[in-house]
Every structure is written in C-alpha cells, then in structure tokens.
Amino acid sequence: MLKVLKNLKNSLGAVIIIVILLCIQASTDLALPDYTSKIVNEGIQAGGITSPIPEVISKEDMDKVLVFTDKDDEILENYTQVQANTIYVLKDISEEQEESLSKIIVNPLMEMTTITNEETANTIKEQLLQNVPESQRPYIENMDLIEIISQMPEEQRNEVLSEFTKQIDEMSDSIKEQAVISSVKQIYQNAGVDTDKIQNDYIFQTGMQMLGIALITMVCAVTIMLLSSRVAAKLGKTLREKVFKKVISFSNAELNEFSTASLITRSTNDVQQIQQLITLLFRVVVYAPIIGIGGFVKVLTSSDSSMAWIIGIAIVAILFIVGTLFIVAMPRFRKLQDLIDKLNEVSREILTGLPVIRAFNKEKKEEARFEKANRNLMKTNVFVNNAMSMMMPLLMFIMNSIMILIVWVGGHNVDQGIMQVGDMMAFIQYTMQIVMAFLMISMISIMLPRAAVSARRINEVIEAEPSIKDKEETKKFDQNKKGLVEFKDVSFRYPDADTEILEDINFTAEPGKTTAIIGSTGSGKSTVVNLIPRFYDVTGGELLIDGVNVKDVSQKDLRDIIGFVPQKGVLFSGTIESNIKYSDENMSDERMIEAAEIAQATEFINDKENKYKDPIAQGGSNVSGGQKQRLSIARAIAKDPEIFVFDDSFSALDFKTDSKLREALAERTENKTVIIVAQRISTILNADKIIVLEEGKMVGVGTHEELMKNNETYRQIALSQLSEEELGEKGGK
C-alpha cells in the first residue's frame, strides 16, 4: 500500500494544504462544544453575566456584602460612587486587580446570597430566637437577618455562619461561581440595570461566533473534499498510466501470465478502490487522531473529568466490534478481486466467442458458466455488505447507549451540584467527537483491506520485470548486411515449459528474396517468426538481423525495420486511413493508396461511402476477415520496412486475390526481405527458399521443385492440397 501512496508526491502541494485545512477544521470543531457550554451556563443560567464581580451595585447591596468580610477598604477602592452616592460603579482595573478582587468578593457575595434566601434566613432566625429572651423576640422577628447579623459581635457572627461557610468552601469553583453570578444578576436588577438586554446581547454575540466557526468548518470541509477528490483522481490517473505503460512493455510471456481480463480489472476496478480510499484517507489519517486526542484532552481539562471512564467504555466496545468484523470479513476482501477477475474473464470469453456458442447451441451452458461466476461474486459481495451493514447499527447503538449513560451520570452530578448543565452538554459533544473519530478509523479499517489487495495487484503489474528488455548499451545495425535475417542453431522453449518448442533452427533470409515457412499445425511456424521482432527471446543459439544479435539492439530500432502482419488481422477503432497510416500519421495519401492497391484493398475501399475516411469499429468488427487481412497487409506495406514478416496472413484471401497480392508485393519488395508463414502450398510455390518444419525441427530446406523431389514431409503437405498435375503446372508458372 505504501508503494502506491508514494505516487502522491506529484500532488504534494495539495496534500500539505489538505493537512493544514484539516488541522484548522479539527480546532474549530473542538471549539464548538465550549461555546455550547457558555450559552447554557452563562447565557441562559447566568443571564449573560460572565464575571462574579458586579460592575454596578447599589449602596444598600454593597453594605450587605461588606457585612460578610473584613476587607471593606480593599473592595471599595475598586469602585466609584455615582448618582448621589447611591450606586457603586467598578473602575477600569487591570486583570491582576480583577483577579485579586474576585478572590476577596466571591465568598462574601456567596454568603450574602445564601443568607438572603428566605428558607435559609428563616432557619437561622429560628436558631437565633431560641437563645433570645421572650421580651426581645418580637423586635428581632421584625428585623432583616442581615441587619441582625451585622449587629452581632464578630465571634458570635462567625459561629452562626460557620456551617454555611463550610458548605460554601466544599462547593466546586464552577458551582460557586454560578451561584455568585446569580446573586450578581439580582444586584444588577436592584441597581436598575436591564439584565434582559445583557442576556440577549451575550447569547447573540456567542451565537454569531459559533456561526463564524461553523462557517470556517464548512469552508474547510468543502475545500478538503474537493482537493481530496482531485488528489485521488490524479493518483488514479498516475496508476493507470503506470500500469498501461508497463503492460505495453510486456512480452507475450507476461501477458499470458496475467491474462487480459485480469489486467483490465487491475487498470479499472483496482485503481478505483485505491481512489475511493484516498478520497477519505486524509480525513481519517489526519483529522480523526486530532479530534480523538484533542477531544480527550478537552474532556480532561475544560470539562468534568470524573466521567472520562465512559469514553473508555465506548472506545473498547467500538474496537471489539470492528476487530471482530475485521477478522471475519478480511479473507473475503482478498477473494473479492479474484472473483471479479474471473467474472471478467468469463464475460470476455463468451462475448468474443458468441458466434461459435450460437453455432453449437451452447447458450445454456455458457449462461450456466456465467451464472456460476456471477453467483460466486454475488455471495461474497453479500457477505461483505452484510458485515458492513451490521457494523453501522451496532456502532450507532453504542453511541446512543453512551449518550444515555452520560445523561444519566451527568444528571446525578448536576443534581448534586458537582457540575453544570452546560458542562454536561459539552461533555456529550466531546464524547461524540471522540467516538466519531474512532468510527471513521473503523470505516477506513474496513475499506483498507480491500484497497490493500488492490494495491498489491497493481504493484504486481508495475513491479513485474519484462522478460524481454533492452540492454543498457545497445548496438546499431550493420548497414552492409541490411535486411539479412540469420537463425543460428536457434532453440526456444516457453516459460515454465519442460521441452523445447524449437530445436536447431538454421536458415538465412536474404534481401530481395522470399523465404517461406511451412509445416503441419503445431510445428512451430508462428513461433519462429515471433522471435524475429522479439515477441519472445530465443533460449538457445543466436538470431541475427542486419548482422547484429537482436538482443544487442533496442526493441524500437529492431521493430522499426520490420513490417509484421500477424496471423489474426488486428484493426483499431478509427478509420481505414488511420489504420493504414498507423506507423506514421503524417504519411502522404499517395503512399497510403499505393499500399492499399498492393494489398488488393482498393476494390472494397472504393465501394465504401466515405472511402478511406470510412469508420472502422473496435477490433474491425464491421469488415470481413479477408478485408481485415488486406488492411493489415496494407498497413505493413505502407510502413516500407526492410523486412516483411507475414504470419499466415493470406489465409482468408481467395486464390485470385492471393495471387494478385503476391504478384504486386513482389514488385514492391524487390530489395526487401520477405518471410512468409503459410498453410497453403499455392502461396509459397514460387518462394526462393522454403523451410519445412515438423515438431519444432527443420526437416527440409529448398525450392518447391527440390522439396517435391527430396522431402517427403513437404510432398505429403503439397499433395494433400493439390494434385501432381496442378503442382507441376503452378510450379512451372
């Protein structure tokens, strides 16, 4: 997988931008729960009041506060009296002064709030009245509790308030601050301040900040998805190019090893799997860890850490489910791509061989074969999809269970005054972010095995070393031996084969002469000519062209001087013109037409509506076998090479067309080397040299007349096609 990801270096700039944007998005996502907590705790519960220090306080309330502290001067020096000394206004003080004042004033404010509570005040009054004489009770009952306490000696006052002071000291800072802020709200109302406006302004400002952060998150998310899709598409393009470039360099041995169907799957479906993974990979590899770790840190620092164990339970449960599914589904992921290969192979065979299937009435058999491959793929897909579909409901069940657990535990904590409602809501959001991060990692862990299998299959192609490759230092052809083809004790065996296909092949094909190769089916005729352009390499002996071993020259130089016409005519989608001009797009029309005339193709080309511009379908399916062969021959002639190789390329032609073509070809190839593989004796009767093969060995060399006299194998082949009179007559001609 890492080898495939190395190809991302072409998109390094985009990857860096994605990482930066993911960090920004993660930080904004982690900031939102804090704002939710602020809106609930400060905006709703505290009425938008954020500081426990009252900025405005009436003289009456200030006097009440000062009852509960002996630091009157330290508090009052921070305030200025206005409105005829009836209102105190907080001065513009520094952060250090504000922090110092907060420590001094919080407890007195808290005690005042507690004492002014009607239920608490009545309880304290009852305790005090128990020790007061009957005559003074009516007087004290009509007094305000704070007024009573202010008139007590300090020692008695501390004794009365000790129980409440102890309770206040045991409260958490957040609860204490919340209670003080509630008293500050009442202080503001007593001073004539519009507290509703303070609350509305705070909620509006905080809400706008949340919208701004959400907007940044949205912009980052959209940009990340666009860039990720672009990077993934570019990687897919790079991989397809590399696979295709490597396949182009393959010899027949590698093509046979991988199979066409498998190479198509690797270039399309496998690359698509990698592309889909990359689109999501950045969001998981970078984003999920930041969210997971960041959320956990926030829980431990900004929120109440007493419920952190709930997150541990969630993570363990998620890992257990994902691990189980991973173990069960992983083997099927490996099998899935092989089954896609098999389905493609069966489909390709059936579509290619449709005429034969119909001719033998085997439609039902082939349907059953396709159905078997299709069903196997379906079963594996169903199993994998079932596993995936089970995962999401299970994970959602865990998420919802965790949320219920948080609300249950958090509700008890709120009830006990240990935490605030906003903190519990923030904890829920942080927990969901952490759980979602693990969910994202889980999703990738399920996608990763299939992508890893695809990556391995792609690497197998990219890293495959062609068995036929150029040497580091190549030679040039000997111009004094131009067109000379020499087989010297050549032998050949296919890769992994036990026996030699060819043995001791010795002959020379000279310029200006036609060399023919004939033999029974399977005698090795096509194999011999496939060695000339190095579709295979000889495994023994030497093959020389223009006086140089073909292994010592570059494949490009070698194939530039060869016009090869394969046994099966191959045409490309386009036009007749584009197929004939395949070797040189800038070829003149005169040269193209001349090649078509020599190949006897003009008679059907001129009958076409658009002549040379007439379209050719994929694989030449809209022309006959004979027309396909003639266009293939025209393509080789138009190239004007030193050496012509015809691998049974006249088999689909009638005798008349065959004769005309060879006659015209003889004039054009007067100084060229011509090598013809043929099944028909009539095609090679007038060849300058005929090579007779049998079971991969040369059993005769000579002209037609010589072989008829001296070679029984050739004689039997000839007599199986023509009578002795016809052979003598044609040979004379």
Domain CATH number, residue 369: 1.20.1560.10
Structural domain contains residue 431: yes
Q: pLDDT of 401-422, one tens digit each?
A: 888 888 888 888 777 766 777 7
**Residue 624 DSSP label:** -
pLDDT of 137 > 80? The answer is no
| Residue predicted with more confidence, 509 or 288 | 509
**What pairing do the DSSP bridges indicate for beta strands 514-519 and 540-545?**
unpaired
The pLDDT value recorded for residue 678 is 83
Share of the chain above pLDDT 90, in %: 2
Give the number of domains in the chain: 2
Where does a domain end: 443, 463, 483?
A: 463
Please check whether residue 119 lies inside any domain of the structure: no
Statement: residue 623 has pLDDT above 60: yes
Q: Which of 586, 614, 640 is the last residue of a domain?
A: 640
Whether 519 shows a pLDDT value over 70: the answer reads yes
Residue that is last in its domain, among 610, 640, 670: 640
Mention every residue, 6+ apart, whose C-beta is less than 8 A from residue 244.
267
The percentage of residues in the chain with a pLDDT greater than 70, rounded to a whole number, is 87
- If you ran DSSP here, which 8-state letter would residue 553 be given? S
Name which of 3-17, 322-336, 503-517 the model is least confident about.
322-336
Q: How far is CA 722 from CA 583, 715, 719, in A?
A: 38, 10, 5
Q: Are residues 450 and 572 in the same domain?
A: no
> What local confidence, expressed as pLDDT, does residue 219 receive?
93
DSSP annotation of 388: H
CB 491 within 8 A of CB 538: yes
What pLDDT does 731 receive? 47
Residues 70-119: tens digit of each pLDDT: 788 888 888 888 877 788 888 888 888 888 888 888 878 877 777 766 66
**pLDDT over threshold 50, residue 733:** no
Q: Give the whole-angstrom CA distance, residue 139 versus residue 144.
A: 11
Neighbouring C-beta atoms of residue 627, cutoff 10 Å: 21
Contact between residue 330 and residue 446 where contact means Cβ atoms under 8 Å apart:
no
The answer on pLDDT for 167 being more than 70 is no
Indicate whether 585 belongs to any domain.
yes
628 inside domain: yes
In this predicted model, what pLDDT tens digit does every residue of 288-318 receive, in sequence order?
A: 888 878 777 777 776 555 677 887 788 788 7
Residue 599: its pLDDT value, please? Answer: 84
End-to-end CA distance of the chain: 67
| pLDDT on residue 730 | 47
Q: Is the pTM of this model over 0.85?
A: no
Average of per-residue pLDDT values in the chain: 80
- The DSSP output letter for 648 is S
Cα-atom radius of gyration of the chain, to the nearest Å? 46
Tell me, what CATH number does 619's domain have?
A: 3.40.50.300
Mean pLDDT (whole number) for 436-442: 75
Structural domain of 605 = 568-640
Task: Report how far residue 100's alpha carbon sits from residue 108's, in angstroms, rounded to the nearest whole number.
Answer: 14
- Position 40 confidence tier, pLDDT thresholds 50, 70, 90: confident
The pLDDT value recorded for residue 135 is 63
Six-digit token pair at 422? 């906003």
The continuous run of DSSP H or E covering 519 comes out as strand 514-519
Q: What is the mean pLDDT of residues 449-461?
A: 79
The answer as to whether 665 is a domain residue is no
Residues 306 and 423 grouped into a single domain: yes
Q: 54-63, 136-145, 323-332: which range is least confident on average?
A: 136-145
Q: How many CA atoms lie within 13 A of 386 on its CB side?
A: 8
Is the Cα torsion angle 673, 679, 683, 686 positive or negative in sign? positive
My answer on whether 576 and 458 are in the same domain is no
What pLDDT, on a 0 to 100 scale, did the predictor assign at position 728? Answer: 60
Looking at residues 702-730, what average pLDDT do you find? 76
Residue 23 covered by a domain = no
Say what the pLDDT of residue 78 is: 87
What backbone torsions phi and psi does residue 313 show, to the nearest 5 degrees? Answer: -60, -45
Pick 161 or 201 by higher pLDDT. Answer: 201
How confident is residue 389, by pLDDT bands cut at 50, 70 and 90?
confident
What's the rounded mean pLDDT across residues 18-25? 88
pLDDT tens readout for residues 215-250: 999 999 899 888 888 888 888 888 888 888 888 887
**Rounded to whole angstroms, how far apart are CA atoms 482 and 487?**
15
Q: Which band of pLDDT confidence, cut at 50, 70 and 90, is reported for residue 732?
A: very low
Taking residues 573-600, report their average pLDDT: 86
Q: Do residues 456 and 598 share a domain?
A: no
Inside any domain, residue 607: yes
Residue 347 is assigned to a structural domain of this protein:
yes
